[in-house]
């Protein structure tokens, strides 16, 4: 898994490449927490190169959502691949996040 972070005002942008699964989800969460300052309200994740997501990866998305929602923010998932979009739809999580 490869991650790139960018910050612009209250928005934290993340590009994720590869698999988000049991092996990589802890590293992903730790990297997000390192970049998620008190001034960040919204988090946007570009999923165009996310090839697979497991329940562990979904748990990370939910954790990010729970950290942004009390701030009045949102988790934005961009450029979902068909596979990742299907997992989000099947689990009902697509309704929680902003999808672009």
**Which residue segment(s) compose the domain that 93 sits in?**
2-99
Q: What is the pTM of this model?
A: 0.93
Domain count within the chain: 1
DSSP secondary structure code for residue 1 in this structure: -
Q: How far is CA 9 from each of CA 38, 40, 41, 69, rounded to the nearest angstrom?
A: 11, 7, 9, 17
Structure-derived torsion over alpha carbons of residues 61, 72, 77, 86, reported in degrees to the nearest 10: 60
Residue-wise pLDDT for 12-23, tens only, equals 999 999 999 999
Contact (Cβ atoms closer than 8 angstroms) between residue 57 and residue 97: no
CATH of the domain at 83: 3.30.750.24
How far apart are the C-alpha atoms of 4 and 14, rounded to whole Å?
6
**Residue 26, token pair as written in the block:** 């802890």
Residue-wise pLDDT for 21-55, tens only, equals 999 999 999 999 999 888 899 999 999 999 999 99
């Amino acid at each position: 898994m490869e991650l790139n972070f960018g910050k612009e005002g209250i928005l934290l942008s993340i590009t994720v490449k590869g698999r988000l699964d049991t092996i990589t989800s802890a590293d992903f969460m730790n990297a997000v927490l390192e970049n998620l300052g008190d001034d960040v309200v919204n988090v946007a994740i570009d999923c165009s190169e996310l090839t697979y997501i497991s329940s562990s990866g979904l748990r990370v998305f939910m954790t990010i959502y729970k950290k942004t929602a009390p701030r009045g923010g949102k988790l934005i998932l961009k450029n979902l691949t068909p596979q990742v979009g299907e997992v989000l739809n099947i689990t009902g999580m697509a309704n929680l996040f902003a999808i672009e």
